[in-house]
Structure 1
Amino acid sequence: MAVLASGGPARAESSGEQARESFRVVDRRGRQRFLASSSKPPVITGGKTYPADQRQGPDGTYLIFNDGDGNEKGGIVASSVGASLSLDYTNAQAITMATRWEGVHGAAMLEMKHMPDPALPIGQVPAVPPRVQLGCSTVEGAFLVLSDSRGRPRIVLEIDGADNPMIKVLDSQGRVVGQLPDTPAGRHS
């Protein structure tokens, strides 16, 4: 692999290092294989480059991983309010592990999605709903949500912020059709 650093030097540091806005690793064919950037970079997939404003995610530091064809396959984003690691399908995110925080409150989540039609260009991919969500929050407790192919929650396991456990089975309209315990803690019929 060849290495190419991009983004001109900002200034010389006292240690002799030069500050750069981005750093790229490209292979012998000139295809990007890795990018470290201090701003939101463009998306490279399917042999096309899409502008940075089409990228999901906050402003922050980006580490982008590309396959042998130069297509983006995942990355790490770090901002002042959270961080995430994503692994991608051909034209959409597949798995995202993320954290967010504000003051003394924080949350962490793992989310998995079905693969959309890989022949669709990135701009034509419909919203891909999560099928599995596993998370916890200092306020809301912990949860596991299993959803149908349309993204509708169907099974929810949770321990709320007051440490009350619950399992719910929902129909396609979101109505509870089964629940354990039968009556949520603290409520009586």
Structure 2
Amino acid sequence: MGQCDRRAAIGAAAALLVGGTTVMAGSGTAQAETSGEQARKSFRVVDRRGRQRFLVSSSKPPISSGGRTYPADQRQGPEGTYLIFNDGDGNEKGGIVSSSVGAGISLDYTNAQAITLATRWEGVHGAAMLEMKHMPDPALPIDRVPAMPPRVQLGYSTPEGAFLVLSDSRGRPRIVLEIDGDDNPMIKVLDSEGKMVGRLPETPDGQGT
């Protein structure tokens, strides 16, 4: 399985509430037609200082980080249902998203995603992946954080099979374990240029390249 094919397959698959007295606030209220119950587009839980600790929203919400609020269009991920977790300072630290074609769970560093567990499906095809990313400079605001490369990718897709990719600090795959769509196992070791320098099982000429 090529790295480009793998990223295409899993790119689609691929963003704690603490105690204390809380207040629940709703927005966008309307009467539900079927049950007569009051419906909300979103609600949030805040602590005694008024800082958000938990948010549920039926659309992509803004991002709270470092004392600033960033517009929703800067958030990765599809439109869908969002559950957002915030720390004691109101900074976002992870969440859950669900859409009509996939779902994901994210745990964050100070200013970027750290771990993502995601799945996506379309018809008879599906993919699932656990990804761990490189940590950026924690002093950077989120709008200045460059795209962080993945360091660990563990995944599966219907056509491509299962794989584990370990990458260096620049996101270059260096060790790849895979079982392809035809159930053939393989282990590859790559250099910094992407050239294979070791392989199991070896190629027919026994050179392992």
Tell me whether the two structures share a fold, i.e. TM-score over 0.5.
yes
Give me the whole-angstrom Cα distance separating, in 2, the residues matched to 1:61 and 1:86.
Answer: 14
Tell which has more relative contact order, 1 or 2 (C-alpha 8 A, sep 6+): 2
Give me the whole-angstrom Cα distance separating, in 2, the residues matched to 1:108 and 1:3.
Answer: 36
Among 137, 140, 153, the alignment partner of 1:120 is: 140
CA offset digits 1:83-133 (Å, max 9, x no partner):
000000000000000000000100100000121110011111111001000
Among 125, 134, 137, the alignment partner of 2:157 is: 137
Cα distance, 1:182 vs structure 2: 1.2
CA offset digits 1:125-160 (Å, max 9, x no partner):
111001000001111000000000000000000000
Which residue of 2 is the match for residue 71 of structure 1?
91
Which residue of 1 is the match for residue 54 of structure 2?
34
AA matched with 1:2? T
Give me the whole-angstrom Cα distance separating, in 2, the residues matched to 1:123 and 1:81.
Answer: 27
Which residue of 2 is the match for residue 61 of structure 1?
81
Identify unmatched segments of 5+ residues in structure 1.
Answer: 185-189
Among 140, 147, 165, the alignment partner of 2:185 is: 165
Pick the structure with more helix per residue: 2
Which residue of 2 is the match for residue 91 of structure 1?
111
Which residue of 2 is the match for residue 177 of structure 1?
197
Cα distance, 1:13 vs structure 2: 4.7
Identify unmatched segments of 5+ residues in structure 2.
Answer: 1-20, 205-209
Give me the whole-angstrom Cα distance separating, in 2, the residues matched to 1:183 and 1:10.
Answer: 65
Which residue of 1 is the match for residue 63 of structure 2?
43
**Aligned residues between the structures:** 184
What is the TM-score normalised by the length of structure 2? 0.85
Among 21, 35, 44, the alignment partner of 1:24 is: 44
Cα distance, 1:38 vs structure 2: 0.3
Percent identity over the alignment? Answer: 84
What is the TM-score normalised by the length of structure 1? 0.94
